[in-house]
């Protein structure tokens, strides 16, 4: 059981920011990544469709014998986590939303927090609930920024246009509230971090859920006695995509450090 | 047979620009529109996936008893039209790519044509072949503009950001070639036409396939003796979506004239 891989899934390549943090924090754990490239993005779809797609992705990873599932997609974490835990009980399942909320609460002094995310995540209100359960009285402003996903997927991470789009979304928000934390509530957004930090200005700290998710996974592995034995070499990372494996590999290179870039991506059907 | 509806399908709402042209040109024809909102966009997916999705969408429309199918999506027209004609023979099937090529050849004086489209359409080279079969010796430059789809879906149709993105894609092209025609080779792009015309400048004519597709459909109806009888009232238009019908209706309002806006959208599963 302890030798089995941890399954990680996302609508596409955004979740690779979480994969990279997991591999860095837990180099002895084998990882199995599934990107649902055929049906991305999830963030502008209905709850019913997001839940259905998440169940199908989880089923494939479970059929490969994983010991734990990480939902490395904020939209799926916001809309499908309860349903996945019910459907695949007792498999341990970690989402990125609660770790993101934890990171936000640790970073804020004022308790005024801005969350940027997809339309579906914002509509669901899940970040607001998760943060307020940790810090009652926190003021949360959640802002849908759907174009950021397209920019990240296209590899437009900085420059005048990305900055102008970030200003269009964020300047009205920052002028309305004096916040000190900006939560990147979508796993695509960390690749835009430099631009977002520039638009946010020096008084606002950017927070994403990648490292706190890796921390939550590490703690759960120990608690459930599921951690892999240390070994001389880092464990394997295997990549699967529901479409266009060569495109997956190309886009993944923008999200991953050199040593993790996929030289092979398995095409699967959901 | 002549009373049966014409089926129209697209990956989402872009094909509504074609639906509007069909309704204007052929007000007595009942129309059945299917937008595959659950899996859009098609333009960055693989040929195999695009063909599979197109077959599924066509099957649903055929099960509703259509007399003709219009593939109102350039990506599906470029990649799946031959396969659809083979699979569903002898159903008459009209794509938007050849009508777009016809419009481009009618508009150009110089024979130098720029086509903007999705990644998949450009990769397939279908526009270049279609234009050159009508006008051998034409010089065609095809440019993938994937962010335009996200902008159109988000309702960002004009303004400084849209203009900056259009310049980023198009200025290097216009500085390399002296063209007189810009083909909008994706059914999403006509909603950005004002901005694209501004960036292109007065010497370049914008061409889309909506009206030439309606013309091609009208001619095929007469040739095959399938045209509906004239009646006092315009015929019905029925809308179906594979996801989020209320979002479909909201976004559709940006693409359709007042009298065609859906007050009801049927949710279907593919």
Check if A46 contacts B (Cβ < 8 Å). yes
Residue B177 reports pLDDT greater than 90: no
Whether B6-95+211-267 shares its CATH topology with B98-209 is answered yes
Q: How distant is the Cα of B127 from the closest Cα of chain A, in angstroms? A: 22
* Per-residue model confidence as pLDDT tens digits over B117-157: 999 999 999 999 999 999 999 999 999 999 999 999 888 99
DSSP summary character for residue A219: H
* Per-residue model confidence as pLDDT tens digits over B40-60: 999 999 999 999 999 999 999
pTM for the model stands at 0.91
Asked whether B129 and A133 are in contact (CB, 8 A), the reply is: no
Mean pLDDT score, B177-201 = 95
Mean pLDDT score, A176-205 = 94
Q: Is B73 a catalytic residue?
A: yes
Residue by residue, what is the 3-state secondary structure of B189-244?
HHHHHHHHHHHHCCCCEEECCHHHHHHHHHHHHHHCCCCCCCCCCCCCEEEEECCC
What is residue A246's predicted lDDT score, i.e. its pLDDT? 92
Q: Which residue ranges make up each domain of chain B?
A: 6-95+211-267, 98-209
Catalytic pick among B73, B120, B122, B165: B73
CB contacts, 8 Å: A44 with chain B: 153, 244, 247
* Per-residue model confidence as pLDDT tens digits over A56-95: 999 999 999 999 999 999 999 999 999 999 999 999 999 9
* Per-residue model confidence as pLDDT tens digits over B95-123: 999 999 999 999 999 999 999 999 999 99
With the C-alpha atoms ordered A193, B43, B38, A86, is the resulting torsion angle positive or negative?
Answer: negative
- Which of A146, A151, A243 has the CB atom closest to B49's CB atom? A243
Question: Domain A98-209: which topology?
Answer: Rossmann fold (3.40.50)
Catalytic pick among B96, B170, B186, B256: B186
Distance in angstroms (rounded) separating the CA atoms of residues A186 and A171: 19
Contact map slice: A 239-268 vs B, CB within 8 A = 243-244, 247
Give me the DSSP letters along chain B.
-TTSPEEEEESSSTTHHHHHHHHHH-TTS-EEEEE-TTT---TTS-HHHHHHHHHHHHHHHHHTT-SEEEE--HHHHHHHHHHHHHHTTTS-EEESHHHHHHHHHHH-SSSEEEEEE-HHHHHHTHHHHHHHHHSTT-EEEEEE-THHHHHHHHT--SSHHHHHHHHHHHHHHHHH---SEEEE-STTGGGGHHHHHHHH-TT-EEE-SHHHHHHHHHHHHHHTT-PPPP-SSPPPEEEEESS-HHHHHHHHTTTS-GGG--S-EEE---
CATH 3.40.50.1860 fits B6-95+211-267, yes or no: yes
Q: Is A145 a catalytic residue?
A: no
Q: How confident is the model at residue A1 (pLDDT cuts 50, 70, 90)?
A: confident
């Amino acid at each position: 059981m302890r030798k089995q891989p941890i399954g990680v899934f996302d609508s596409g390549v955004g979740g690779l920011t979480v994969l990279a943090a997991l591999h860095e924090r837990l180099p002895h754990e084998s990882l199995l990544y599934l990107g649902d490239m055929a049906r991305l993005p999830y963030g502008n779809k209905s709850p019913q469709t997001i839940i259905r797609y998440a169940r199908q992705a989880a089923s494939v990873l479970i059929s490969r014998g994983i010991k734990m599932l990480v939902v490395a997609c904020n939209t799926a974490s916001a809309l499908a986590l309860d349903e996945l835990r019910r459907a695949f009980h007792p498999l341990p399942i970690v989402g990125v939303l609660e770790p993101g909320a934890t990171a936000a609460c640790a970073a804020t002094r004022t308790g005024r927090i801005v969350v940027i995310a997809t339309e579906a995540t914002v509509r669901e209100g899940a970040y607001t609930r998760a943060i307020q359960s940790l810090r009652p009285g926190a003021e949360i402003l959640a802002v849908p920024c759907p174009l950021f996903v397209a920019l990240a997927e296209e590899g437009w991470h900085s420059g005048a246009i990305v900055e102008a789009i970030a200003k269009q979304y964020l300047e009205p928000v920052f002028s309305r509230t004096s916040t000190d934390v900006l939560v990147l509530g979508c796993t695509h957004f960390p690749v835009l971090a430099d631009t977002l930090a520039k638009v946010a200005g020096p008084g606002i700290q950017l927070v994403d859920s990648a490292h706190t998710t890796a921390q939550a996974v590490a703690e759960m592995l120990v608690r459930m006695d599921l951690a892999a034995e240390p070994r001389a070499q880092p464990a394997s990372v295997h990549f699967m995509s529901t479409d266009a494996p060569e495109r997956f590999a190309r886009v993944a290179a923008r999200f991953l450090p050199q040593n993790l870039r996929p030289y092979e991506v398995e095409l699967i059907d959901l």
